[in-house]
Chains A and B, each alone.
Chain A
């Protein structure tokens, strides 16, 4: 059962003073005090719990929301809770100019869309994209629409592996799908 690769949602812009916050590390996304938690259902309440000004994110987030962050989002630890806490809240995707390497892998393998867009900082500064805007994104092509503003934009889109893992719903499901196709 494939998931839809085009979706729309409300954007949360993680910015301070009109600029995207850079280097939001895994300790700010999901603090190490909660690392003993292994049940994904309990992780949502700690999402961004250690990022100044965003401690209450979990209570404001709604399923389908999209995050926009500064470069090197998810730098640091390999903790997968930093991806899973957003999945727990039903966050649909995260946009940033770049992501921490392991964070990126964790997201790909969880079937959680991360989209790189180098111009994101410019869009925030020139008002192309604002907090609360509703946007639509096609994960395959990377093309986006700002429904609120009536403008269009482009992200890098997802690689083939990323889309395939996303559509099957995660690494395990993907592995099973490959095996049953006999392509292994």
Chain B
């Protein structure tokens, strides 16, 4: 009986053969945290230790509320900077770099076969590059800073087998929303989700990040694409390090296999207030909204901004809608600037914000009043997440949000392109 991707990586780290359901003690390769490092530092200090075990494994990226929107956030950032200096943590990225998951990936920390844990639920993103990556809590992270070890349960695997090609105007976000809508927000609780099938190699790294990121919205511990030539090419431009892909064996045991034909997928929208409340865009065509957001760790990459700009070019946002554009990282921002995308957005009447999480978690930069609605490319539409608990969030692809933004009402982008 063969082994799954997760059994291989966790078994490799534990130094023995492991199966789904086993509990292993492992030492991760990298540990991610963001603005919540302030809380983690507090937990760490309770242990009475002077130094972290291995500062080289710690990656801290400030992105949640950047620049600090109030004194309480400024204080947290200050404490983090002081800790980073005192502990000699080299992999620190201050407020100007962008969203942690994008910055972490761009800097080559995520690679095939690596074990990455982060104090953020969307740490699953790094599975896009063939890593085993999972979100954990802050006490756990503080504990790994101290001991360099953690217990993990080896997950069962749900395999999504994808075939075919997307229709024009349909993209990665639509298929993951469809999968979550069909199967429910807890279908993959505690499990690994493998995105494979003959269509998988056709996904860019950017698109893979969308699916791996949103595996968290199915409850998954980790989500991943099998590493391939696309992965290795992408990484080659970022570091000289060589990585061997880790792949599930042909005869590995999967809990379930689900099949999706990409050509049958149409634009999808997740309606309030759960990510699995998904409907085709055409059923809600013409729905009004107040704010549109293109960005976040799910859909703020160059590929997303290009798709949106292609739709918005030469058009103007109607006066009853406000549109926020947030490039996922400084590097994405600069490239969007070079390619003229930011000019297109600005001329269309969009607000271009600095790279970061923006209003996605409801702290600043576009908070909603009661009875307001945002159409967003983010990954969560929980009640009250972006402001008032009486506001609403709909989630869709960059193509759908861009087409809807220039029309001022929810629009199926297939007709526009």
Contacts and interface: CB of A to CB of B under 8 A. Distances in A.
Partners in one complex: yes
Interface of A: 23, 25-28, 31-33, 35-36, 38-39, 50, 52, 71-72, 75-80, 83, 98-102, 104-106, 109-110, 161, 170-172, 175
Contacts of B385: 27, 32
A69 B33 CA distance: 30
Interface residues of B, number: 43
A101 B363 contact: no
Given A78-B121, A101-B221, A171 B389 contact: no
Nearest to A106: B137
B220 A175 contact: no
Nearest to A75: B185
Interface in B142-169: 143, 146-147, 151
A98 B139 contact: no
B249 interface: no
A52 B220 CA distance: 27
Contacts of B118: 78
A75 B221 CA distance: 12
Nearest to A176: B47
B19 interface: no
B389 A50 contact: yes
A58 B134 CA distance: 32
B119 interface: yes
Given A78-B120, A109-B137, A104 B46 contact: no
Contacts of A109: 137, 139-140, 143
Contact of A171 (B140, B189, B363): B140
A172 B143 contact: yes
Given A32-B362, A35-B363, A72 B185 contact: yes
Interface of B: 23, 36, 38-39, 42, 46-47, 64, 72-73, 76, 118-121, 123, 135-140, 143, 146-147, 151, 185-186, 189-190, 219-221, 274, 361-363, 380, 382-385, 389
Contacts of B221: 101
Given A72-B185, A78-B120, A102 B136 contact: yes
Given A36-B76, A109-B137, A80 B39 contact: yes
Contacts of A105: 136-137, 140
A175 B147 contact: yes
A33 B363 contact: yes
Given A36-B72, A78-B136, A106-B137, A172 B47 contact: yes
Contact of B137 (A23, A52, A80): A80
B82 to A, nearest CB: 15
Contacts of B136: 78, 102, 105-106
B38 A38 contact: yes
Given A33-B363, A109-B139, A25 B382 contact: yes
A106 B189 contact: no
Given A36-B38, A50-B383, 17 more contacts: A27-B362, A32-B362, A33-B363, A36-B76, A52-B389, A76-B380, A77-B380, A80-B139, A99-B189, A100-B189, A102-B137, A105-B136, A105-B137, A106-B136, A106-B139, A171-B143, A172-B46
A101 B219 contact: yes
B384 A171 contact: no
A25 B76 CA distance: 25
A93 B89 CA distance: 38
A181 B238 CA distance: 45
Nearest to B363: A32
Contacts of B219: 72, 75, 100-101
A76 B121 contact: yes
B149 to A, nearest CB: 8
Closest 4 CB pairs of A and B: A106-B137, A72-B186, A27-B382, A38-B39
Nearest to A179: B147
A26 to B, nearest CB: 8
13 contacts: A23-B185, A31-B362, A35-B36, A50-B389, A72-B186, A80-B137, A98-B186, A102-B137, A106-B137, A106-B139, A109-B137, A110-B137, A172-B143
Contacts of B72: 36
A141 B38 CA distance: 38
A50 B72 CA distance: 21
Contacts of B46: 172
B221 to A, nearest CB: 5
A105 B123 CA distance: 15
Nearest to B187: A72
Given A27-B384, A100-B189, A101-B220, A78 B73 contact: no
A72 B384 CA distance: 18
Given A32-B362, A78-B135, A104 B190 contact: yes
Contacts of A32: 361-363, 385
Nearest to B68: A36
Nearest to A73: B186
A24 to B, nearest CB: 10
